[in-house]
Amino acid sequence: EHGPYLPHEPGYGLYQPGYGPYDDQTPDPEHRMLSFQNAKAYLLKSSVTSGLNLYDHLVNVLAKILDEQPTDPVDIFENISKDVKAAQFQKKMDTLRDEHEVLPSFDSAEVRRNLFLKTDGEGDEEREEMGETPLPNVMETAFYFEQGGIGLSRDETYLIFLALKKLVSVQPIQTCRFWGRILGQEMNYIIAEVQYHEGEEEEEETEEEEVMVEGEKRLDEVEDEEKEKGEPLKSTYKPPPVIPKEENGTGANKYIYFVCNEPGKPWVKLPPVTPAQIVCARKIKKFFTGRLDAPVVSFPPFPGNEANYLRAQIARISAGTHVSPLGYYRFTEEEGDEDEEGGGGRDECEENPEFEPLSAFEMVESLSTWVHHVPSILNQGRCVWFNPLQKTEEEEGEEEEEKDEVPDELQQEVGPPLLTPLSEDEGIQNIPAWTASVSTKLTPQYAVAILRSNRWPGAYAFACGTKFGNIYFGWGHKYSLGNHTPALPPPVQPEYPDGPEISEATDPTVEEELAFKAAREQKSLESMEEEEEEEFEDEDDDDD
């Protein structure tokens, strides 16, 4: 039998008393610790092929067995060892991927969560009568458009309905309507068309006037300071008069528009539109980005940012595509009795309580059964023409002092009258302005008349009995046959008037110079002779 292990042998110090012939001898503790260190060092040797060591592998295997505690681990020990070894060769994720990833669905759910929470004022509104609520029945309108294959999904439509409900509960709104959605390159715009209660718009107008008055005062103060400094006088050029915007509640600013990028995000109120913005919007073609503060880089330069451009396009689309069945609206009695001067036509209409709807097939047969119930926008950028030569009393007094030439009177612009049938709309070469269709021919009693605009792709209207609606889903651009061509810059202004009095003369020849000198000398001699004759005559008179 083998005696006690020597210090250089692997088993040195591992035997226990009672297992050998020399049990009465106790091993040295130092020798036992040395043997442990030698054994652990042997287990920690890494493999040349895999780079793993047996010590760490056994620790991982035992830790997995203790964590999972499978039944009969001795039977599946080899499989556990294989799984642990395979896990060591998986690709390690870097620090960026190890971070908690937030899914887009989670972000959208967080945004929409507020739509399902009730505020303090919503509970009281539900107790009131539903007939007087300004909240529109978006789901019913979406159902009719869905019959013609138009609209959004039902889930998204319901979220828009909840977003409009939040808007009505916060703002003092009298009427509210889902106008549509304009697409953008980064984000889209969901648009709500509202009207405030009486008195709310007046407060906003006074605030805007105060801001304008303060700005005018500041400009006057700057001019006075410049005069005191003794700076040179400014140019006497007078720019063309600025066409004022229409007041809130009239013309292109009849309605107020709120926009948001997604249901659940805050609503943003768009500013009123000005005639200069509408005129410039007709000359440019820009895609929306989805950011209201984004600049509009174009030629001619647009006076404002994307919020103003969006408001101008909304006004143009509303004026050209908002239609209703013939007879649904009628002119107000006051305007019907009085004849308006200026040829502007009747500007206001109201619902007709005696309206008798036509069938869907009759609405589709002829476009004369549809009319425009929104006034058109003139080339000036307003619905009601404004005379730029009309001046105030102060300007008239100044003109009396400065007698200038009176310019010729401008010819007043006249647009198509209100409630004009669609059959009078101009087409696009061989393309009609509108296309009418029926949702179904199998059940004519339940059919819905669908109208699609070819001039503004994305504008639709429906009519079913006494109900109708208008909506827009598109990029906010008007249809054009060819590619968009930007306007050319105006011709360069001349620096000075060109004429013979300021043009450079050609140098005379030698012969011309000699002839000129001879003529000048002859004139001088003649003048001297005349002077001498006059002197002789004076002397003779004195002698007499």
Q: Measure the CA–CA gap between 458 and 313, rounded to whole angstroms.
A: 13
pLDDT at position 537 is 76
| Residue 36 token pair | 């442990």
Q: State the average pLDDT over residues 296-304.
A: 93
| Residue 380 token pair | 């000036």
Q: pTM of the entire structure?
A: 0.68
The DSSP string of 450-497 is: EEEESSSTTEEEEEETTEEEEEEEE-S----SS---PPPPPPPPPSS-
Q: Measure the CA–CA gap between 21 and 15, rounded to whole angstroms.
A: 11
Is residue 279 one of the residues assigned to a domain?
A: yes
**Best-predicted range by mean pLDDT among 71-80, 155-164, 535-544?**
155-164
Read off the pLDDT band of 375 (50, 70, 90): very high
Distances (CA, A) of 461 to 188, 368, 451: 21, 15, 5
Burial degree of 265 (CB within 10 A; 0-12, 13-18, 19+): middle
- Asked if 248 and 309 sit in the same domain, the reply is yes
Check if the beta carbon of residue 261 is closer than 8 Å to that of residue 190.
Answer: yes
Is residue 533 one of the residues assigned to a domain?
A: no
Burial 177-211 (b: 16+ CB within 10 A, else e): bbbbbbebeeebbbbbbbbbeeeebeeeeeeeeee
* pLDDT tens column, 62-80: 999 999 999 888 899 999 9
Nearest to 164 by CA among 129, 225, 115, 208: 115
Does residue 406 register a pLDDT over 70? no
Q: State the average pLDDT over residues 373-398.
A: 80
- Identify the domain boundary among 458, 484, 510: 484
Is residue 528 one of the residues assigned to a domain?
A: no
Relative to beta strand 189-196, strand 256-260 is antiparallel
As a whole-number percent, the residues of the chain with pLDDT over 90 amount to: 44
Check if the beta carbon of residue 295 is closer than 8 Å to that of residue 307.
Answer: no
Q: Measure the CA–CA gap between 534 and 526, rounded to whole angstroms.
A: 12
Is residue 364 one of the residues assigned to a domain?
A: yes
Widest CA span in the chain:
187
Does residue 440 register a pLDDT over 70? yes
Does residue 456 register a pLDDT over 80? yes
pLDDT at position 183 is 96
- Identify the domain boundary among 484, 501, 528: 484
Nearest to 178 by CA among 165, 187, 197, 196: 165
- Identify the domain boundary among 41, 64, 85: 85
| Residue 258 token pair | 């709120």
Read off the pLDDT band of 527 (50, 70, 90): confident
- Asked if 320 and 444 sit in the same domain, the reply is yes
Is residue 522 one of the residues assigned to a domain?
A: no
> Hey, which bits of 302-404 come out as E strands?
323-325, 329-331, 349-351, 370-372
Is residue 108 one of the residues assigned to a domain?
A: no
Read off the pLDDT band of 218 (50, 70, 90): very low
- Asked if 152 and 283 sit in the same domain, the reply is yes
Helix (H) or strand (E) holding 142: helix 138-147
- Asked if 180 and 293 sit in the same domain, the reply is yes
Q: Measure the CA–CA gap between 210 and 213, rounded to whole angstroms.
A: 5
Question: Does the CA dihedral 92-97-100-103 come out positive or negative?
Answer: negative
Q: What is the DSSP letter of 409?
A: P
Structural domain tally of the chain?
2
- Asked if 167 and 71 sit in the same domain, the reply is no
- Asked if 189 and 73 sit in the same domain, the reply is no
pLDDT at position 344 is 41
- Asked if 253 and 178 sit in the same domain, the reply is yes
Q: Domain of 199?
A: 137-203+243-331+347-387+413-484
Is residue 61 one of the residues assigned to a domain?
A: yes
- Asked if 186 and 282 sit in the same domain, the reply is yes
Is residue 19 one of the residues assigned to a domain?
A: no
Nearest to 318 by CA among 373, 274, 355: 373
Q: Measure the CA–CA gap between 281 and 157, rounded to whole angstroms.
A: 30
The backbone torsions φ and ψ at residue 235, rounded to the nearest 5 degrees and listed phi first, read: -65, 150
What three-state secondary structure class fits 532? Answer: helix
Q: What is the DSSP letter of 12?
A: T
- Asked if 303 and 162 sit in the same domain, the reply is yes
- Asked if 192 and 57 sit in the same domain, the reply is no
Q: Measure the CA–CA gap between 182 and 477, rounded to whole angstroms.
A: 10
Mean of the per-residue pLDDT values of the chain: 81
pLDDT at position 214 is 41
The DSSP string of 274-319 is: -HHHHHHHTT------S-TT-B---SSPPSSBHHHHHHHHHHHHHH
**Best-predicted range by mean pLDDT among 92-96, 299-303, 411-415?**
299-303
Read off the pLDDT band of 49 (50, 70, 90): confident
Q: State the average pLDDT over residues 212-220.
A: 42
Instruction: Check residue 382 and give left, alpha or beta (phi > 0: left; psi -120 to 50: alpha).
Output: beta
Read off the pLDDT band of 23 (50, 70, 90): low
Q: State the average pLDDT over residues 254-262.
A: 95
- Asked if 73 and 141 sit in the same domain, the reply is no
